[in-house]
A and B are shown apart, each in its own frame.
Chain A
Amino acid sequence: MWASAECAGAVTPSSSPNVDCGVQRDLSPMTTLAFALLVAGGSFCAGLLGSLTGLGGGIVVVPMLTLLFHVDLRYAIGASLVSVIATSSGAAAAYVREGFTNVRVGILLEVATTIGALVGAAIAGYTPTSLLAILFGLILLFTAIRSIRPRQEHALLTTPDNWAARLRLDSTYPTAAGRQPYSVQQVPAGFGLMFIAGILSALLGIGSGIVKVLAMDQMMRLPFKVSTTTSNFMIGVTAAASAGVYLHRGYIDPTIAFPVMLGVLCGALLGARVLGIANPRRLRQVFTGVVIVMAAEMLYKGFTGSL
């Protein structure tokens, strides 16, 4: 059946003016059962690899759904956000026990990411799909680059910062040599980058952990462990802001979201258990390879307007 006939009656008020009606590649439909099992399997692998490599599985869910299963980008974004909330909240309990999370930094920056997420959700309906695909491809490429280059722990600064002092953001974190104090730098710049992280999270259905860590690690100069755990603290909240909006807008389909959520969650939980056994270097290479292939295909689809 061709798409044009279906499309005529299907344009809801919330859908974008650029609905891509001309493209319908999936001419032999799968059954719901087959679809659910395949998507759950793929999501499980994404969650497992994401948790083992520390890169997060959320970033490959949308490309998997759109490129492999030909799911519309909006449904894919809705399902991906749900899985991001599940893994972020599931992992948070393990992190907080260690005492690394800086709650003040997290909640302050959540103002920026939440506003960003609501803005992103508001403009998502007016953003052409091809632009979203290009943006996605660039984020995937950036993720691959960051995962190839080894992260270096930077020297901790204890020079006081005006904003950090006023907002009492400076803290300590546990190290082998006892609790180490650190000072938070460049608060307004970090806040601004977090706003962008929030927009990206809503537009692309990802956790934007990579942008969040960049802001906290590189700009605000938090210790590595503090920035990763605080970023995880924030990812669930940011995703919840846009997921709430998308639920009302009809982007969250139960049949697509359930295999994604359960698959990613189980994969991430298993990943956390076998973390010591698996070889992270090799896995990282595999995951990076997958991300690069997806980036290339997303960019191609974006520039040819075929997503």
Chain B
Amino acid sequence: MTDPSPRVSDHAVEQVVGRLLQLGVLVAALVVFVGAVLLLVQHGGTPVAYSVFHGEPDGLRSIAGIVRGVMSMQSESIVQLGLLLLIATPIARVALTLVAFLIQRDRTYVAVTALVLALLLYGLLFGNA
């Protein structure tokens, strides 16, 4: 093994990261749940038609649109915000892993982790392209 004691700090970081992941999922699930209750109260009686793909309206497929919808208390946007938080949770995990490798001054893995993070952010922010 080339580094003096990477395992110990790796493990400590993973503990923190594990907690963060749990917290992220919990917060996301709560937001989704609140939105879902509102959605069912407002549209519970509407018939569903999902056998043909229409694609979501603009307000539900961009981050700005979702935030705007949440501001005006739209139930579907609140659910979508929760889902967005959920998608962001593993991305936050990669960001924390990057910090850990930075602290360890592990240049190879800083580069590897930064590449993964860049790819994920590209998907989340510019997915339409």
| B123 partner residues in chain A, CB cutoff 8 A | 114, 117-118, 121, 240-242, 244-245
CA distance A111 to B56 in the complex (A): 29
| B10 partner residues in chain A, CB cutoff 8 A | 103
B52 contacts A97, C-beta separation under 8 Å:
no
CA distance A90 to B7 in the complex (A): 23
A16 shortest CB reach to chain B, Å? 9
Q: Which of A6, A75, A265 contacts B29 (CB 8 A)?
A: A265
A179 shortest CB reach to chain B, Å? 9
Q: In the complex, how many residues of chain A place their beta carbon closer than 8 angstroms to a beta carbon of chain B?
A: 83
CA distance A15 to B56 in the complex (A): 11
B32 contacts A96, C-beta separation under 8 Å:
no
| B24 partner residues in chain A, CB cutoff 8 A | 89
CA distance A205 to B74 in the complex (A): 27
A170 contacts B1, C-beta separation under 8 Å:
yes
A3-B52, A31-B44, A236-B90 given; A168·B127 CB < 8 A: no
Q: Which of A69, A107, A243 contacts B87 (CB 8 A)?
A: A243
CA distance A170 to B7 in the complex (A): 11
A239, A242, A250: most-surrounded residue (chain B CB, <10 A): A250
A258 contacts B36, C-beta separation under 8 Å:
yes
> Which A residue sits closest to B125, measured CB to CB?
A244
> Which B residue sits closest to A65, measured CB to CB?
B50
A262 contacts B53, C-beta separation under 8 Å:
no
Q: Which residues of A49-64 are within 8 A (CB) of B? A: none
Q: Which residues of A4-45 are within 8 A (CB) of B? A: 6-7, 10, 12, 14-15, 19, 21, 23-26, 29-33, 35-36
A31-B46, A172-B7, A254-B60 given; A15·B51 CB < 8 A: no
Give B3-47 as 1s and 0s: 1 = Cβ < 8 Å from A's Cβ atoms. 100010011011101110110110011001101100110011111
| B50 partner residues in chain A, CB cutoff 8 A | 69-72, 75, 253, 256
A-B contact pairs, 22 of them (CB 8 A): A12-B54, A33-B44, A35-B48, A72-B52, A82-B83, A82-B87, A90-B22, A96-B15, A107-B97, A170-B1, A239-B90, A240-B87, A240-B123, A240-B124, A244-B127, A250-B61, A252-B80, A253-B56, A254-B79, A254-B80, A259-B36, A261-B86
Given A86-B25, A258-B32, 18 other A-B contacts at CB below 8 A? Answer: A10-B53, A72-B51, A75-B53, A82-B87, A85-B87, A89-B86, A92-B18, A92-B22, A93-B22, A96-B17, A99-B11, A242-B123, A244-B127, A250-B61, A252-B61, A252-B83, A256-B50, A258-B35
